């Protein structure tokens, strides 16, 4: 009987010693080593997952910025194409106006050439003839006066 | 009383009469030819002046159009600068996206490694506290 009581006391005492490694109190929780190891691994995964989320958000933001840059590029390109098309149209207008000016200039040159090459008018012929007659008459008069 | 005798022409000899008539005819013919020549000259010069005015007007239009083209060149240069700047922005943004993707891939690799890693052994309360502090940062 004493032996049984001693064994019981020994078991109770050893149990008390084991429990004494972690005494639950307010603000403290006792966990096993396995749980601690598992929490450590989960914390590592959580940290990696948070980091991944941050990086994915950065990718998202960078993609938005890139999309906006492409949109701006498209807008500026379309505006530049419109400006270039206007420039081409204006240059074609200049060419057309220059062509028209050349035609008008050719007309002017033709008229001036015709004016220069115009044959003597009746008035000019009349004046020339009168001059010739006057010269002839003058010559005759001088000749008679000399005789 | 007129100083000129009105019968002076009748009192001249026939030869002088013929001479006077010839001179009068020549004067009249000369006047007519002169008037016709002046009209013809006026018409010709009018056509030339009109052609010259047309040329000047066309040249003014050409100059105005050239001024417009010069302004177009400025606008084109500005527009092309905008395009170049936008293209540079696209390149910069694309590089930033590539960098972010590379970092995200590295983070994904870290996460996969963390998931695949074996559980640690002998984790202490200090280890857990350190990991928690790292999480809060």
* pLDDT, tens digit (0-9, with 9 covering 90-100), for B85-120: 999 999 999 999 999 999 999 999 999 999 999 999
Contacts of A73 in chain B (CB under 8 A): 83, 86-87, 89-90
Start-end of H helices in chain A: 2-19, 33-116, 122-146
Cβ-count burial B81-90 (b if 16+ within 10 Å, e if not): ebbeebeebb
Q: Out of B82, B89, B110, name the one closest to residue A48 (CB).
A: B110
Report d(CA B46, CA B34) in Å as an integer: 18
Phi first, then psi, for residue B122 (nearest 5°) are: 65, 35
Provide the 3-class DSSP secondary structure of residue A120.
Answer: coil
User: Who's near A44: CB < 8 A, 6+ residues apart?
Assistant: B114, B117, B131
CA–CA separation, A45 and B110 (whole Å): 9
Q: Looking at residue B124, what DSSP letter applies?
A: -
ipTM for this model? 0.70
Q: Which residue has the tokens 């032996």?
A: A3
Q: Is the pLDDT of residue A18 over 60?
A: no
Per the CB < 8 A criterion, the answer to whether A62 and B103 are in contact is no
Put simply, the answer to whether B83 touches A80 (Cβ < 8 Å) is yes
Mean pLDDT score of chain A, rounded to an integer?
A: 88
pTM of this prediction exceeds 0.90:
no
pLDDT tier for residue A26 given thresholds of 50, 70 and 90: confident
Chain B interface includes A64 (CB < 8 A):
no
Query: What are the angstrom distances between the C-alpha of B129 and each of A24, A38, B93, B115?
Result: 18, 14, 40, 20
Which of A84, A44, A86, A76 shows the shortest CA–CA distance to B119? A44
Token reading at B59: 């040249």
Best probe of the A interface among B78, B82, B127, by most A CBs < 10 A, is B82
Crossing angle of helices B14-116 and A33-116, rounded to 10°: 170
Q: How far apart are CA A116 and CA A108, in angstroms?
A: 12
Please give the Cα distance from B26 to B20 (Å, whole number): 10
Contacts of B39 (CB under 8 A, 6+ apart): none
CB atoms within 10 A of CB B105: 13
| Residues forming a β-bridge with B95 | none
Contacts of B127 in chain A (CB under 8 A): 36, 40
Average pLDDT over residues A10-39: 74
pLDDT tens-digit readout, A100-144: 999 999 999 999 999 899 888 888 898 999 899 999 999 999 998
Tokens of A50: 């948070």
Q: Give the number of other CB atoms < 10 A from CB of residue A52.
A: 21
CB of B22 closer than 8 Å to CB of A111:
no
What's the average model confidence in pLDDT over A62-72? 97
């Amino acid at each position: 009987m004493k032996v049984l009581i001693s064994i019981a006391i020994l078991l109770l005492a050893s149990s008390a010693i084991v429990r004494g490694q972690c005494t639950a109190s307010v603000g403290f929780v006792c966990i096993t080593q396995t749980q601690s190891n598992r929490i450590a691994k989960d914390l590592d995964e959580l940290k990696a997952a948070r980091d991944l989320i941050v990086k994915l958000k950065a990718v998202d933001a960078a993609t938005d910025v890139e999309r906006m840059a492409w949109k701006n590029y498209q807008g500026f390109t379309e505006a530049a194409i419109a400006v270039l098309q206007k420039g081409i149209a204006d240059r074609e207008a200049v060419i057309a106006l220059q062509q028209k000016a050349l035609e008008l200039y050719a007309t002017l040159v033709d008229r001036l050439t015709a004016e220069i090459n115009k044959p003597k008018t009746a008035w000019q012929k009349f004046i020339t003839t009168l001059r010739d007659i006057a010269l002839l008459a003058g010559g005759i008069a001088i000749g008679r006066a000399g005789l | 009383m007129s100083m000129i005798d009105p019968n002076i022409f009748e009192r001249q000899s026939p030869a002088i009469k013929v001479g006077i008539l010839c001179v009068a005819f020549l004067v009249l013919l000369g006047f007519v030819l002169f008037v016709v020549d002046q009209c013809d000259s006026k018409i010709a010069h009018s056509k030339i002046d009109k052609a010259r005015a047309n040329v000047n007007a066309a040249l003014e239009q050409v100059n105005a159009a050239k001024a417009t083209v010069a302004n177009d060149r400025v606008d084109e240069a500005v527009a092309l600068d905008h395009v170049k700047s936008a293209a540079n922005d696209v390149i910069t943004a694309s590089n930033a996206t590539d960098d972010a993707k590379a970092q995200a891939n590295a983070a994904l690799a870290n996460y996969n490694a963390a998931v695949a890693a074996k559980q640690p052994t002998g984790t202490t309360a200090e280890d857990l506290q350190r990991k928690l502090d790292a999480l809060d940062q």
